[in-house]
Amino acid sequence: MKKILHLFIFTLLFNTGFTQGIDSIRLFTDEALIDVTLTTDYKKLSSESGIDVYQDAQISFRMPDSTKVDANITLAARGHFRRDYCQIPPILLNFETPASAQLNNLGKLKLVIGCGTGTENEQLILKEYLCYRMYNLIEDKSFRVRLLRVNFLDSRNRVKPFSQYAFLIEDDADMARRNGCKKLDVTGINTETTHRHTMTTVAIFEYMISNTDWSIPNNHNIKLLADKKDPNGPPYVVPYDFDHSGLVNAGYAVPNEVIGTESVTERVYRGFGRTMDELNMSIEKFKAQKEATYNMIRNFQLIREKTRNEMISYLDAFYDIISSPSKVKKEFIDNARTN
C-alpha cells in the first residue's frame, strides 16, 4: 500500500511539474526521447547573418509521459562555420517570452541539429550527442544533453517538412549552479591559469575524441566556471561542441592548419606539460569509465551497428595508449605544448 501511495505522489508531482512548466534541471536528468515540433520561417533563419537576431517560432513538447506543452517562443541562428555551410544553422531557442510562461525557466537553450536532412547527417548528430554523454561519465562539470526527435515545420511552406534526431544542451548557468559555481564571461584567460587538474582532464578528453577545435584564450568551444566558495581561484574549464572531432568525423570537418594534421581522425595532444602523476590522476578517470563508455555506445541502437563498432575501435587506440606508461610519456609529456 505504501509503495502505491508513494508512486501516486511521485506521479502527481511529476505531472504537476509539467503543468506548471518544464523544470530546467530535470529536463537534463532523464534520458527518454522527447518528441518536439518546431515551426518557424526557416528560409529567413538561414539567410540571417547577424548575431542574436531573433524571430518568432512555435514549439510543442510531447514528453515521455504524453504530457504536451505548447508555446510561442523566439529563436536565432547561432554559430559561424555551420551557419554558412549547413542547410539549416544551429539554433538558439529563447523561452524567455511572455507567451511561453510554462517554459520561461528554461531560459535560452542551444538546439544541435543536423547539417542537412539526410540520414548521414542524423548519424553525425547522434555521435556528437554520445561525445557529451561520454564526458558526463568522466566529469561532473560538463554539459548535460537531452535527445529529441524534432519535426521541423516551415511557417511559410517554403521548406519541405522533415523529422530528425537532435539534442538540447544544458544552459551554462544551470550547469554552473548544480556544480556550486557561477559562469565567467571573460576572454583572454591563459590556459595555464585555469584549474590544473580539470584542464588536464579536458585536454585528455579532447585527445581521446581527437578534437582540436577549442581554445582557452579565445574562449572558443569552452566555458569557464568560478567556484562560489573560492571565486578568486583558478577557473574550471568545461568543453562543448564536438562536431569537428575525429570520433564524429563529419564530412565538413577539416584538419587544423596550424597543427598540420592530414585528417581530423589524427590525434594530437593540445595540453601543456604535466608530470606523470598529474596525468595519471586524470587517466584513472578514463580507465574507470571504460566499460561504461563502451556499453553506452554498444547499447545506443539509434546509431548503426557498423558505426558503433567503428567508434569503439577508434577508442581502443586511445585506451591502448593510456594503458602504457611509455606511450603516455610519448603522447602527453614529450608532445605536450610549450606555448
The DSSP annotation for 141-189 comes to: SS--EEEEEEEEEETTS-S--EEEEEEEE--HHHHHHHTTEEEE-----
Q: Which residue has the higher pLDDT, 147 or 257?
A: 147
19-33, 125-139, 226-240: least confident range: 19-33
27-41, 84-98, 192-206, 222-236: least confident range: 84-98
Question: pLDDT (tens digit, 9 = 90+) per residue, 143-184?
Answer: 999 999 999 999 999 999 999 999 999 999 999 999 999 999
Q: Is residue 289 pLDDT above 60, yes or no?
A: yes
pLDDT score of 257:
83
Are 316 and 297 in contact by the 8 Å Cβ rule? The answer is no
Q: Is residue 335 pLDDT above 70, yes or no?
A: yes
In angstroms, how far apart are the furthest CA atoms of the chain?
66
Contact residues for 127 (Cβ-Cβ < 8 A; gap 6+): 247, 248, 249, 303, 307, 311
> Order of strands across the sheet with 181-184?
181-184, 222-227, 236-239
Average pLDDT across the chain, whole number: 92
Q: Is residue 80 pLDDT above 80, yes or no?
A: no
Q: Is residue 208 pLDDT above 50, yes or no?
A: yes
Question: pLDDT (tens digit, 9 = 90+) per residue, 26-74?
Answer: 899 999 999 999 999 999 999 988 888 999 999 999 999 888 999 999 9
The single-letter code of the amino acid at 50 is G
Q: Give mean pLDDT, residues 233-239.
A: 98
Task: For residue 299, report the phi and psi dihedrals to the nearest 5 degrees.
Answer: -90, 0
Write down the pTM of the prediction: 0.92
Percent of the chain with pLDDT over 70: 94
What angle in degrees, to the nearest 10, is found between the helix axes of 119-138 and 196-208? 150
DSSP label at residue 126 = H
| 3-state helix, strand and coil shares in percent for the chain, rounded to the nearest 5 | 40, 20, 40
pLDDT score of 25:
83
4-18, 35-49, 75-89: least confident range: 4-18
Q: Is residue 15 pLDDT above 70, yes or no?
A: no
Q: Which residue has the higher pLDDT, 298 or 15?
A: 298
- CA-CA distance, 156 to 177, in Å (whole number)? 40
- Residue 262 binned pLDDT confidence (cut-offs 50, 70, 90): very high
Q: Give mean pLDDT, residues 113-141.
A: 96
pLDDT score of 6:
43
- CA-CA distance, 316 to 327, in Å (whole number)? 14
Are 312 and 294 in contact by the 8 Å Cβ rule? The answer is yes
Q: Is residue 84 pLDDT above 90, yes or no?
A: no
CA dist 331 to 195, 228, 282, 314, 336, Å?
Answer: 21, 35, 14, 16, 7
Contact residues for 88 (Cβ-Cβ < 8 A; gap 6+): 42, 45, 46, 113, 152
pLDDT score of 23:
81
Task: For residue 140, report the phi and psi dihedrals to the nearest 5 degrees.
Answer: -65, -35
DSSP string, 5-25: HHHHHHHHHHHHHHHH---TT
pLDDT score of 20:
56
